[in-house]
């Protein structure tokens, strides 16, 4: 009995040594069974292989890198959908603008810059169909004119010497058209506009600009503004329908001005003695016809 009692007396020491070898602690426990239960139940015997604490998973953290600003990546414009670089306002329009050698700008316009001869936009920049465009031509850079017949809204700036239309005309058929011929000898061929549904404005402020016809065939209620203020500008005939206003100064408007249509108005101002030498007239049916000075009016039927 003593031999058996001695063996049992040594058993706790054996268990303690075995537990220590396996990395288990019996400290503070009431017995070997309690120690084994504690080591398993608190997870210390089997830590997470990726180093994540059990509480992380419980809190919904999958261990990935958290977003820095807390906002989900939706793939949309962070500026709230407003047009910006690379966005001309509609599906496929950015690609169309790029194909026309333009760049989408923050206002949603396709901006085409042709500032030097041989620019990527070619000798005749063209606004893609349905886009809002701003086209600028520098010295000798757009000899075959500008085509904005299919744009939705178009501003054409011919700001260099002999910019726009040495060989061919500047055309604009967009709902809203603004044509600025500010460079010397710019817009040397026709400025041909029509079918606007909002407004048309043509400014010929460069010396000898707009050397040939200005044609503005608009519906009778569309505002049309033509300003020939550059020295010797607007050397060709001016033909306009719509609610038309024409200003000629600095020896400009050397050919006849034919204005008006049924139900439209016409206001022609020749600001100095050298302007409007060929006179002006209003078509039959024009609601209001004003020509200043009165002696600039051409007698007889207006073609």
222-273: pLDDT as tens digits = 999 999 999 999 999 999 999 999 999 999 999 999 999 888 999 999 988 8
Number of domains in the chain: 1
- Beta strands (DSSP E) in the chain are 103-104, 110-114, 132-137, 146-148, 153-158, 170-172, 176-181, 191-194, 199-204, 214-217, 223-228, 238-240, 243-248, 257-259, 265-270, 280-282, 288-292
Residue 204: phi and psi, rounded to 5, are -115, 85
Residues 110/102, Cβ–Cβ less than 8 Å = yes
Mean pLDDT of 68-96: 55
Boundaries of domain holding 159: 103-296
Mean pLDDT of 208-224: 93
Mean pLDDT of 83-93: 69
Residue 261 lies in a domain: yes
Residue 271 lies in a domain: yes
Q: How confident is the model at residue 71 (pLDDT cuts 50, 70, 90)?
A: very low
Residue 153 lies in a domain: yes
Q: How confident is the model at residue 52 (pLDDT cuts 50, 70, 90)?
A: very low
What is the per-residue pLDDT for 53? 41
Copy the structure tokens of residue 139: 């010295």
Mean pLDDT of 183-206: 94
Residue 30 lies in a domain: no
What is the per-residue pLDDT for 27? 43
In this model, does residue 33 exceed pLDDT 50? no
Residue 69 lies in a domain: no
Residue 33 lies in a domain: no
What is the per-residue pLDDT for 222? 93
Mean pLDDT of 206-219: 94
Copy the structure tokens of residue 39: 């080591």
| DSSP structure string for 51-93 | S--HHHHHTT--SSPPPSSS----SS-TTTS---TT--SSTTH
Residues 147-169 pLDDT 10s: 999 999 999 999 999 999 889 99
């Amino acid at each position: 009995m003593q031999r058996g009692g001695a063996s049992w007396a040594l058993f706790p020491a054996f268990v303690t040594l075995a537990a220590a070898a396996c990395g288990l602690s019996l400290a503070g426990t009431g017995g070997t069974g309690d120690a084994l239960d504690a080591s398993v139940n608190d997870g210390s015997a089997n830590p997470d292989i990726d180093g994540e604490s059990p509480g992380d998973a419980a809190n919904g953290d999958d261990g990935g890198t958290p977003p820095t600003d807390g906002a989900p990546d939706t793939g949309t414009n962070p500026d709230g959908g407003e047009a910006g670089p690379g966005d001309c306002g509609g599906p496929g329009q950015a690609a169309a603008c790029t194909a026309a050698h333009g760049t989408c700008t923050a206002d949603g316009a396709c901006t085409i810059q042709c500032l030097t001869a041989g620019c990527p936009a070619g000798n005749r920049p063209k606004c893609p169909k349905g886009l809002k465009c701003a086209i600028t031509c520098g010295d000798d850079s757009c000899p075959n004119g500008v085509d904005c017949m299919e744009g939705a809204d178009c501003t054409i700036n011919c700001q260099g010497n002999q910019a726009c239309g040495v060989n061919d005309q500047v055309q604009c058929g967009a709902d809203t058209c603004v044509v600025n011929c500010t460079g010397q000898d710019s817009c040397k061929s026709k400025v041909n506009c029509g079918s606007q549904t909002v407004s048309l404005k043509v400014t010929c402020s460069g010396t000898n600009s707009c050397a040939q016809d200005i044609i503005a065939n608009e519906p009778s209620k569309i505002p049309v503004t033509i300003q020939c203020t550059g020295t010797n500008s607007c050397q060709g005939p001016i033909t306009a329908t719509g609610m038309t206003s024409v200003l000629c100064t600095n020896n400009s408007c050397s050919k006849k001005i034919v204005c008006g249509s049924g139900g439209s108005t016409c206001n022609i101002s020749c600001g100095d003695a050298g302007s409007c030498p060929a006179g002006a007239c209003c078509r039959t049916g024009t609601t209001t016809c004003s020509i200043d000075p009165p002696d600039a009016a051409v007698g007889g039927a207006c073609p």
